[in-house]
Amino acid sequence: MNLNYEVFQWINSFAGKSSAMDSVMIIITNSVPYFIMACLLLLWFSGKTERTIYHRYTALYMLFTIVLSLCINEVIHLVYYHPRPFVTHHVHKLIPHPANSSFVSDHSILVFSAAWIMWLRKNKWRSIIFIWAVISGLSRIYVGVHYPADVLGGMVIAGAIGCFIIYVSAKTTPLIQRLFWIHDLIIKRIPFLSPYTHEQISKKNHSA
């Protein structure tokens, strides 16, 4: 018996003892993709005018980190198969899940991509998002579909890619400016989606 399984067994042993806790953990683990979408949308559409572009850069860095990290994880899944806990052990499995490779957790990559970027960009909600990421990672173990190493792997990959994205951020500026240009073209035709184009925001900032 190894440490990875021992920790999994301890966390998963709490499942099935409280229907209320089971329901909370199921909601948390299933809400991850929707929470990430909400984070991206809130970063893009919220904030005072002078902070709008900063928040939108953060949203794009988060998106870049998620996409690149998931691509790396897809390669890992192709070259290395590790059975999920419920495949090789008797576990408390609370949600349906295919028996594909367990290492690394896609859900953990999603939540820790958001957490690391928010932390690196010094967002005021960074501590709350990081705590939520840890709880989300624990929920994957609790419901019986991932080992602790799968969650830690997601945290490490997302952290490494997040740092890389921030490190090369100056080189991504032309791509981001192009995305802003496309955004402004859309906004001019559907103005209720955003009160200002990036051109208008820049003018306001320069005149302030």
Q: 3-state class of 80 per DSSP? A: coil
60 plus 77 within the same structural domain? yes
pTM equals 0.84
Q: Are residues 144 and 55 in the same domain?
A: yes
Whether residue 56 sits in one domain with residue 113: yes
Residues 162 and 175 in one domain: no
Q: pLDDT (tens digit, 9 = 90+) per residue, 122-171? A: 988 999 999 999 999 999 999 999 999 999 999 999 999 999 999 998 88
Regarding whether 199 and 117 lie in a shared domain, the answer is no
Query: What pLDDT, on a 0 to 100 scale, did the predictor assign at position 54?
Result: 85
Q: How many domains does one find in the chain? A: 2
Q: Which residues contact 97 (CB under 8 A, 6 or more apart)?
A: 84, 86, 145
Q: Which domain holds residue 208?
A: 169-208
Co-location of 160 and 174 in the same domain: no
Residues with Cβ within 8 Å of 144's Cβ and at least 6 positions away in sequence, in order, are 12, 15, 85, 86, 91, 92, 93, 94, 95
Do 148 and 174 lie in a common domain? Answer: no
Model confidence at 120, pLDDT cuts 50, 70, 90, reads very high
pLDDT higher than threshold 80 for residue 202? no
In angstroms, the CA 175 to CA 197 distance is 17
144 and 197 co-located in one domain:
no
Measure the CA dihedral 33/72/90/28, to 10°. Answer: -20
